[in-house]
Amino acid sequence: MTNILSGYSTVIFDCDGVVLNSNPVKTKAFYEAVLPYGENAAKAMVEYHLANGGISRYKKFEHFLQQIVPEVCCDVDGPSLDNLLSSYAERVWSGLLTCEVAGGLERLRGKNPNSNWLIASGGDQVELRNLFELRGISNLFNGGVFGSPDSKEGILEREKQNGNIGESAVFIGDSKYDYFAAKQAGFDFLFVWEWTEVKRYEEWCRAEGITFYKNLGELS
């Protein structure tokens, strides 16, 4: 069987929806964290979150307070940005410790032992590094685990400039933002759909000429 990743010196992975089945955990946490502002505001937050998959929690909560709250809420004295971030982190952590890890991840690594593997995620970087250690998968990503508050575009550009990402690189993601970040950096892109929250992903992938697979197990 053809090794799809054999031609790449660097393989970059998004985390949520690619390496971990954590998208539902985070969607629920966004809803519950902002619920003190009311159900309408919480639903609006979820809609924004789903439409902007891959963007950091910091930017999403800033948008919530600056744009959604003034439009949806009336005289509600809700949590501050720091309190929202803290509430969200507490709700997410337990789910991240127990959610499914992508099947075939270690097999895929075994087929590509000489490539440099990185995580470029919208998740909090400190949280991700602790999580990957606890889940026993940090050793697979010899190029490092990176996340917010840096943006994915910033991570990719920085790691490319410092030589951590080679000339032949591919980004594996499950969101439109992942694709645009990869495209901006000049990297190839593969889409995995099993856990994605992108609606009508197949139609979008075909329109953009993106190769898509069910999951990492299919890649391996």
Pair 108, 2: CB distance under 8 Å:
no
* pTM, entire model: 0.89
CATH 3.40.50.1000 fits 10-20+101-219, yes or no: yes
Q: What integer pLDDT is reported at residue 74 of this predicted model? A: 62
Query: Domain segments of the chain: what residues?
Result: 10-20+101-219, 24-97
Interatomic CA distance for residues 13 and 162, integer angstroms: 18
List Cβ neighbours of 108 (8 Å cut-off, separation of 6 or more): 5, 216, 219, 220
For the stretch 103-152, pLDDT in tens is: 999 999 999 999 999 999 999 999 999 999 999 999 999 999 999 999 99
- Partners of residue 13 on adjacent β-strands: 119, 172
> Is 74 or 122 the better-scoring residue by pLDDT?
122
pLDDT of residue 97: 94
Tell me the pLDDT tens digit for each residue of 36-72. 999 999 999 999 999 887 788 999 999 999 999 998 8
CA distance 180 to 154: 13
